[in-house]
Chain A
């Protein structure tokens, strides 16, 4: 067997951190059950609040992202907060490089948020009759890129939050200004998808989302080291 190169070891440790989180999540189902129940509760509140009224399409595509944003805020800080609570931060610092930890956690949050968003969208489409997607490609692209962007920003904020005292309330407060450009663009793209725009019309939004993701992930991977090492 040949010796491992440094980047191979880096990829391996990032993947094993992802797998570690994945297995411990499957064992406790803490984040998944919290997120699923959050989404079910919020959507039923919206349905009850609307009653027999039908909300305009703009409001519906806005509310979808309100649900997604707060769902992310209720579950995505778990990966880092759990490490602090279990006291396993030191161990992780010893066995893996900071950037590998960051990308492992990012991957875990990404898988979690993509799954939750799919669930949210399905429920939303079933229960809110006015919400009919005309152009599916724009919608799929928006949900995918929006999830990646959401995971990117909320992972680094979660790392900050885990070190603070008031973890729960501070998380949405810190994340909102960072996520607002992303949310506004996603709401706009969702409206285009519901209105049945052509894929080329949403290209500006997609380019924006991709550049947002690239900038946030790059900056986070550099800055994470400072947060992680006490």
Chain B
């Protein structure tokens, strides 16, 4: 059921996000406003921002289930934690890739160590280290405990990163959501499509996560029998 709803929802979002015309002065309901300096490239935000958002959501989910695992040592919590981390890695990679492609056309280079790029790079490194650690431990309980502890330590040092990065370099990254100075204007249509895309991607993540958890639970049961 969820699968069918998600399919229809995401199809509509993709068609609207890519298909609706962009004009300077939107008159009709179906028109997007042109954002200065971004123009047609602004369409990437319908896909890039949700993936970046989900890579953070997955990171937090993984840590929360890690804490739960440490508290009551249930294998299913570890499965939930590692499944979230796996999806987080996927979405983190997608956000990095879409961001790099956008940067090529807006900034003229795929990678220039913008603060946003640096912090997502560190997030990728943490995910990579997390899986390297998991594959290096064979005993299941030990692997779950060590992975949970590592994800918690990584999560508590991340805020430091968010704090120092802006001090070191000014970012050129546009901020459609935290739009403080009102530099980027979205009209109602654009905002609705954007929020629908965010909701659709989050639903997709939830569905994939449930599926992963079920598959891995079956896998672990097969090992025991």
Interface residues of A (CB under 8 A from B): 153, 156-157, 160, 163-166, 170, 173-174, 176-178, 180-182, 184-185, 188, 204, 208, 211-212, 215-216, 219-220, 223, 226-227, 230
Number of B interface residues at 8 Å Cβ cutoff, please give it. 28
* Contact between chains at B149 and A174 (CB < 8 Å): no
- Return A205 CB to nearest CB of chain B, in Å: 9
Partner of A208, one of B146, B150, B160: B160
* Contact between chains at B125 and A226 (CB < 8 Å): no
Q: Name the B residues within 8 Å of A170 (CB-CB).
A: 132-133, 136
Q: Within 8 Å of chain A (Cβ to Cβ): is B137?
A: yes
Partner of B138, one of A165, A184, A188: A165
Closest chain B residue, CB of each to CB of A176: B125
**What are 28 A-B interface contacts by the 8 Å CB criterion?**
A153-B157, A163-B137, A164-B136, A165-B137, A165-B138, A170-B136, A173-B128, A173-B129, A174-B129, A174-B132, A176-B129, A177-B125, A177-B129, A178-B154, A180-B122, A181-B160, A181-B161, A184-B164, A208-B163, A212-B160, A215-B156, A215-B160, A216-B156, A219-B153, A219-B156, A223-B70, A223-B152, A226-B148
Q: Within 8 Å of chain A (Cβ to Cβ): is B145?
A: yes
How far apart are the CA atoms of A188 and B163 in the complex, in Å? 14
- Shortest 4 CB-CB contacts between residues of A and residues of B: A181-B160, A164-B136, A177-B125, A177-B126
Per-residue contact bits, chain B 89-120, to A (CB 8 Å; 1 contact, 0 not): 00000000000000000000000000000000
Partner of A185, one of B132, B150, B164: B164
Q: Within 8 Å of chain A (Cβ to Cβ): is B142?
A: yes
Partner of A223, one of B132, B153, B157, B164: B153
- Return A155 CB to nearest CB of chain B, in Å: 11
Within 8 A of A (CB), among B146-190: 146, 148-150, 152-154, 156-157, 160-161, 163-164, 167-168
Given A176-B125, A223-B149; 10 other pairs, CB 8 A cutoff: A174-B129, A177-B126, A177-B157, A178-B153, A208-B160, A211-B160, A212-B157, A219-B152, A226-B148, A230-B142
Closest chain A residue, CB of each to CB of B150: A160
Q: Name the B residues within 8 Å of A177 (CB-CB).
A: 122, 125-126, 129, 154, 157
Chain B contact residues: over half helix, strand or loop, or mixed?
helix
How far apart are the CA atoms of A170 and B138 in the complex, in Å? 15
Q: Name the A residues within 8 Å of B163 (CB-CB).
A: 208
Interface residues of B (CB under 8 A from A): 70, 122, 125-126, 128-129, 132-133, 136-138, 142, 145-146, 148-150, 152-154, 156-157, 160-161, 163-164, 167-168
Partner of A160, one of B138, B149, B156, B160: B149
Known contacts: A170-B136, A180-B122. The answer to whether A226 contacts B160 by CB under 8 A is: no
How far apart are the CA atoms of A194 and B148 in the complex, in Å? 40
How far apart are the CA atoms of A144 and B20 in the complex, in Å? 58
* Contact between chains at A181 and B157 (CB < 8 Å): yes
Closest chain A residue, CB of each to CB of B137: A164
* Contact between chains at B132 and A227 (CB < 8 Å): no
How far apart are the CA atoms of A182 and B142 in the complex, in Å? 29
Q: Name the A residues within 8 Å of B149 (CB-CB).
A: 156, 160, 223, 226-227
Q: Name the B residues within 8 Å of A164 (CB-CB).
A: 133, 136-137, 146
